[in-house]
Amino acid sequence: MGFRINTNIGAMNAHRLGISNNRDLDSSLEKLSSGLRINKAADDSSGLAIADSLRSQSSSLGQAISNANDAMGIIQTADKAMDEQVKILDTIKMKAIQAASDNQSNDSRNAIQKDVNRLLEQLDNIATTTSFNGRNLLDGKFSNKEFQIGAYSNQTLAASIGNTSTTATGNITTKTSIAQLGSSADLTADAKKGTTTFTSAGLEGVAVGDTIRLEGVGDYKITGMAGTEGGDTVFTVDRGLEKDLTIGQTVAIVKSEQEQIIMADMKAGTIGDAKGFAVGDTLVATAADGSLTNHKITGIDTTAGTITFDAAIDAGAVDLRMLDRKTLGTEHTGSDYVQFTVEGVKLPGVQLTDANGNGVVNTGMGAAAAQINLGTAEHGIKANAVVESNSETKVMGGDIAEDISINGVTILGKGDRLKESDTDNKLVNAINAKSNETGVSASLESDGTLTLVSDGRAMNLQGFTNTAGINDGTVAGHIEFTRNNLGVMHVSSEHFKDEGLNTANTAAKSLDEIVSAHQLNEIATGSMREGDPVGLLRTREGAMRAMSLAEAATKELDSIRADLGSVQNQLTVTVNNISVTQVNVKAAESQIRDVDFAKESAEFSKFNILAQSGSYAMSQANAIQQNVMRLLQ
């Protein structure tokens, strides 16, 4: 064998293997001390990616479980609140049953009514104050709310909670029998909008020229004419006309049912033959784009046989009506006044325009509110016209694609450039510069969205959809009536769409009956004068209707609660499923990331023994070189 001194191969191999063994020993100690099999990407690069993905999914599922539990908390909060409302309704029905008995005196019924009014106030209080984390639950605004109940995007569950206030529950429909062609017609009250629509159940086969007699109301003659350019013949039912009515160009009708509403493409001016019309009637015009415009009959000259109407009044104007109990079908002059009544209190009249145009009063919402407020000191009721529109998105930057106009007045032209969020106030300043012409002012919110506010006139908007996120068209707004602590009543032009001196409606119908027609709060509506107990329970018949309203409201609340119960059950099942999934995902991650202590302990023992034996081998390799000295002896 050969002996070499300069190169000790045995020692070098022992050193190399010792370094590798020490590295494995350090890694084993790291795993045993951390409890993880993967402490760095080098330990298992693909395993690390899978484990991190599983850990993210598990954490997300944990938050989804928390979200679902919060959603159940919301539903339970709303359910318990509605349970209290149902108890209140049970009490109201019990008191209505008590008031329905004729052994009750007027004083005792008034006392019962006062008690019920307090209960209704508390029911509304529950509806307006029940909230979760600052979000109201029972005022009708908690609609189509989505809860994230999954680990990935768009894994949501939607829930809605209806409005449980007295103005939104207890809706019923009444039917009034009218002798008509041997059948009956329905007078249906739409409690949501407070409008009344007259529909005919037995008018199949009627033709132009036929006459319909409504008992106690008068004759209605079917009149009509052919549409332009070969269009179909259309007709409407108007009151007592002896010949066809021609206004502007063509006559149209809004629905297939026979309604006493005149639809026409009208021009400003007068129409001939005033017979059968009354001051306060409404002419509804259809524009070329299909939009509707209400035009008010403001005066009748019986001598000249003409009817004057104001074409400036559009869909945003309040449809004022005659409320002086005059007979339907009679003719009135421009000296008549239109009166509002709010819960039994008469408000100042707005004078109508006579046939010569004298005494013109702008009957837009702002002017109507101003007229009503003239008598605030006397009747205590204040009117406020609110016509407002808010954008859903911030003002968009770039060139304007079409002219921007308000009420026919051009604000900015096509091609003008705007900055995003209108940071230089170009759009706002342009709108405000012409507010005297349009009646509309603008302001910019902190998030870059636009708010438009009118002085009471309707807002006809064009060019705002693609620029500021506000829908083009007419914004009608509403009037708010307030008195003392009795809350706010909103009245918009929709409430008068089918009202007025037409069909079988009573001309003296008061405003509160329109707004709250057959709703739960009808139990407490009526006169607001001091010391005058109001509501249905003052009479036996009213108490009977109050029972029906309470029953209807209870059914609506039970329906809402049933829907919420279904959602809660769905959430419970979802939480259970997510919990199982989370456990399985966590177990899968553990299999990849966590260390097996039994296996790793055996590995550590092996590396530890190898380290000791390696040290011994190194010393022996170094000792072998000493054998060379013996050859030199």
Angle at 394 between CA 391 and CA 395, to 5 degrees: 95
Give the number of other Cβ atoms within 10 Å of residue 158's Cβ: 10
Residue 493, CA atoms < 13 Å, CB-side half-sphere: 28
pLDDT band of residue 414 (cuts 50, 70, 90) is: confident
Buried b (16+ CB within 10 A) or exposed e, 467-489: bbbbebbbbbbbbbbebeebbeb
Residue pair 528/343 in contact by the 8 Å Cβ criterion: yes
CA–CA separation, 201 and 210 (whole Å): 16
Which residues have a Cβ under 8 Å from the Cβ of 31 and sit 6 or more positions away?
37, 39, 595, 600
> Packing angle between helix 106-129 and helix 45-99, nearest 10 degrees?
170
**Amino acid, res. 569:** N
Residue pair 452/386 in contact by the 8 Å Cβ criterion: no
DSSP β-bridge partners for residue 148:
156
CA–CA separation, 574 and 64 (whole Å): 10
pLDDT band of residue 400 (cuts 50, 70, 90) is: confident
Residue pair 451/425 in contact by the 8 Å Cβ criterion: no
pLDDT band of residue 295 (cuts 50, 70, 90) is: low
pLDDT in tens, 228-270: 333 222 333 333 332 233 333 333 232 222 223 333 333 333 4
CA–CA separation, 310 and 293 (whole Å): 11
User: In the 8-state DSSP scheme, what is residue 25?
Assistant: H
CATH of 388-475, one of 3.40.50.720, 3.30.70.2120, 2.160.10.10, 3.40.50.300: 3.30.70.2120
- The confidence score (pLDDT) of residue 91 equals 93
48-169+541-586 and 388-475 share one fold: no
- Maximum distance among all Cα pairs of the chain, rounded to whole angstroms: 157
pLDDT tops 50 at residue 276: no
pLDDT tops 70 at residue 398: yes
**Amino acid, res. 411:** I
Q: What is the mean pLDDT of residues 210-220?
A: 37
Residue pair 425/437 in contact by the 8 Å Cβ criterion: no
Residue pair 610/21 in contact by the 8 Å Cβ criterion: yes
CA–CA separation, 155 and 304 (whole Å): 71
CA–CA separation, 487 and 341 (whole Å): 16
Q: Are strands 195-199 and 478-482 parallel, antiparallel or unpaired?
A: unpaired
**Nearest residue to 534 via CA among 323, 339, 344, 340:** 344
pLDDT tops 70 at residue 298: no
CA–CA separation, 479 and 365 (whole Å): 7
Superfamily (CATH) of domain 48-169+541-586:
f41 fragment of flagellin, N-terminal domain (1.20.1330.10)
CA–CA separation, 77 and 82 (whole Å): 9
- The confidence score (pLDDT) of residue 274 equals 42
pLDDT band of residue 379 (cuts 50, 70, 90) is: low
Containing 296, the helix (H) or strand (E) segment is strand 292-301
Q: Where are the domains of the chain?
A: 48-169+541-586, 219-381+492-517, 388-475
Instruction: Let me know how long the chain is.
Output: 633
CA–CA separation, 334 and 46 (whole Å): 90
